[in-house]
Amino acid sequence: MSQQINEALGKLDLMITNAAAGAGAGAAAPAAQQQLSTAAGGAAARKGSIVQRLENAFQEGIDAAFPALAGQVGAIVQPCNNPKFGDYQCNNAMALHGRLKGQPDAPKNPRAVAEAILAALPETGMVAETSLAGPGFINIRIDSSWLAQHVTHMLRNGIATWAPLGYTGQKVVVDFSSPNVAKEMHVGHLRSTILGDVIARTLEFCGADVKRLNHIGDWGTQFGMLIQYMAEKREGGLNAATDEDVADLQVLYRAAKQRFDEEEDFKTRAREAVTELQSGRPEYLQAWQRICDASRREFQKIYDRLDVTLEERGESFYNPMLKPLVEDLMARGVAVESDGAKCVFVEGKDIPLIVQKSDGGFGYASTDMAAVKHRIDEEKADWIIYITDMGQSSHFDLVFAGAEKAGYLPKDRKVRIDHVGFGLVLGDDGKKFRSRSGDVVRLVELLDEAKRRIVDTVKERRPDATPEEVEEASRAMGYGAVKYADLKNHRTTNYRFSYDDMLSQQGNTAVYQLYAHARIASIVRKSGRDIAALCQTAEVKLVHEKEVALALTISQFSEAVESMLEELLPHRLTEYLYDLATVFNQFYTECQVVGSPEEDSRLLLCEATSLTMRACFQLLGIHVLYRI
Ligand code: ARG
């Protein structure tokens, strides 16, 4: 067991523990704390999700039944199309039949293939029954005593034992948020921040070593314009500039831009200012720093509200690497001169990647080439993920292809590189998202408005809450609602931003989920039982069909996380959370918990549900509430 895994798992359980302890929720806290001490032991027993385990078993079955094809056919197991017939299904028989056709002793039809696989299936204890359907699908029903043990084990060892395998120790760079200095951070950056944080959190949960990089636009020609404007505004020039000049960067930007567009001479002076800045003249650098600091303070207000951490590594960081990079590319013939610019032509792309413009300047693409190289050579990244709107897809395609051509992507080890694109945020009217005055929406105001709008609901539902509790709940629900509304859509679709929808207490919203969690936590709390002790001594027993369904859904947490990471689709997590809450409600409607003969086991199911929900909230970056 590597120390890294232990640390990562320990960290996660600690986070979930802290959430529980912070709630002062009585019985709920010790259960989670207890898991902290055994997380490492539990980690040793990580075997992957149900799908993974079944795939392993079916792989063995397929290889044993058809040794001639061993190693050539991967087992395919997925949730059953029709839950009436099973929980999962294996779909290999049809294709296998095709491949075996014509060989001596080939099975006569796909059903015969399926039967042969079943006959060779190793004993796992997981499968209660199988049946054949259609041309050769194998339906699988999961054994309920296995499920009961699986959930009991998780309660004793912590939910980190359910983290999908395969990510531990991987070095992953997640490039997200990345607003531009001196320009307002817009809803696109908000989406990138929310999506990127969830991807980073989920990878961290799985034991990856994540570097969260904020590739802010802190370098470029716009600074010439801004600095020149500041220089001419006061008598003493740049030396007389103060923080007041950058207090409202939007105002500064607009004024400078107007002047830049209208006055030819100013344009020239602004260009000269860029050169001065690049040559490192102190008062220019200082003005630049002042602008960056002011922007940073603004960005931080958003990150604080959203509870997102990022390491700033802006474009300027790569500046010293650009000249040598272009020289290297030219020397090796990877880049060539075209119309005065230095370009990398990539097969199959209509436009080249411009690594140096004809005026000698470096642009967005030059920096991104340098960043890929740095992330691979210096950061030793195994995986690099970029999160921006889909409008930048072709830029990243070109950068990735260029980096491959340049040999920055190494041949000796596999580096995965992904652009995670997302759609637009639209206004309630389905048009471009704008504030009432028609301006760009200020994100701080947007977030605080969500929080403000939920205050009355919080007070109504809990008239006895202290002002601090109202504040905590409205923060969690308001900011959580904005995040959740963003995350629940397939990331590539455009979605409408609607306070009414996102703050609804019904349906697939953060508010609904937070209430659902608090209600389940309160069932456990109000039972008056010592749930921590119960987790250690009692066992889950599944008798009622709704109990079985709930235990299965709880166990599918691993699959949800797995599929979210495979395709980098955060809505897989919100979908799962919604399913879990729904299946819990069905259980709770039909199964009495407190005071029933099955009280112990059912309390454990409640605890397992709320614990799993907390893990989801943790991954989604939503603050958990216990009493609302
Ligand atoms: N600053 C850019 C923008 O606002 C996003 C940067 C994304 N990251 C990158 N490595 N290009 O569009």
Nearest protein CA to atom 8 of ligand 1, as residue: 215
Alpha-carbon distance of 153 to 325, in angstroms, equals 53
3-class secondary structure, 284 = helix
443-620 maps to which CATH number? 1.10.730.10
CATH, domain 50-143, list 3.20.20.70, 3.30.1360.70, 3.40.50.300, 3.90.550.10:
3.30.1360.70
Alpha-carbon distance of 286 to 458, in angstroms, equals 47
Q: How far is CA 361 from CA 8, 220, 330, 403, 564, in A?
A: 43, 9, 16, 20, 40
Phi first, then psi: give them for residue 214, nearest 5 degrees.
Answer: -100, 100
Indicate if the pLDDT at residue 287 is higher than 70: yes
CA of 419 from ligand 1 middle (Å) equals 11
Q: How far is CA 194 from CA 11, 112, 188, 396, in A?
A: 21, 49, 10, 20
Asked if residue 386 has its Cβ within 6 Å of ligand 1, the reply is yes
pLDDT digits (tens, 9 = 90+) for 129-183: 999 999 999 999 999 999 999 999 999 999 999 999 999 999 999 999 999 998 8
Lowest mean pLDDT among 314-318, 436-440, 503-507, 614-618: 436-440
Asked if residue 371 has its Cβ within 6 Å of ligand 1, the reply is yes
171-217+314-422 maps to which CATH number? 3.40.50.620
CA of 178 from ligand 1 middle (Å) equals 5
Note the pLDDT of residue 45. 54
Alpha helices (runs of H) in 424-466, residue ranges in sequence order: 443-461
Pocket perturbation via mutation, ligand 1, pick of 388, 422, 443 by most ligand atoms within 8 A of CB = 388
Average pLDDT over residues 302-330: 97
CA of 392 from ligand 1 middle (Å) equals 9
CA of 551 from ligand 1 middle (Å) equals 43
Lowest mean pLDDT among 2-16, 400-414, 515-529: 2-16
pLDDT digits (tens, 9 = 90+) for 525-555: 999 999 999 999 999 999 999 999 999 999 9
Burial (CB < 10 A; 0-12, 13-18, 19+), residue 390, is middle
The larger pLDDT score, comparing residue 25 to residue 150, is at 150
| Interhelix angle 571-590/599-620, nearest 10 degrees | 160
Indicate if the pLDDT at residue 429 is higher than 50: yes
What mean pLDDT, rounded, does the chain reach? Answer: 91
For residue 399, the ligand 1 atom closest to its alpha carbon is 11
Q: Which residues pair with 90 in a beta bridge?
A: 77, 138
Asked if residue 215 has its Cβ within 6 Å of ligand 1, the reply is yes
Nearest protein CA to atom 5 of ligand 1, as residue: 178
Could you state, in order of their start, the residue ranges of all structural domains in the chain? 50-143, 171-217+314-422, 221-300, 443-620
Average pLDDT over residues 63-85: 93
Phi first, then psi: give them for residue 129, nearest 5 degrees.
Answer: -155, 160
Indicate if the pLDDT at residue 523 is higher than 90: yes
CA of 295 from ligand 1 middle (Å) equals 16
Question: Are the folds of 50-143 and 171-217+314-422 the same?
Answer: no
Alpha-carbon distance of 289 to 223, in angstroms, equals 11
The larger pLDDT score, comparing residue 72 to residue 25, is at 72
Contact 454, 502 (CB under 8 A): no
CA of 344 from ligand 1 middle (Å) equals 20
| Interhelix angle 557-567/50-65, nearest 10 degrees | 80
Note the pLDDT of residue 241. 81
Contact 566, 624 (CB under 8 A): no
pLDDT digits (tens, 9 = 90+) for 203-213: 999 999 999 99
Entry pTM? 0.91
CA of 443 from ligand 1 middle (Å) equals 18
Note the pLDDT of residue 9. 45
Residue type (1 letter), 315? E
Nearest protein CA to atom 4 of ligand 1, as residue: 179
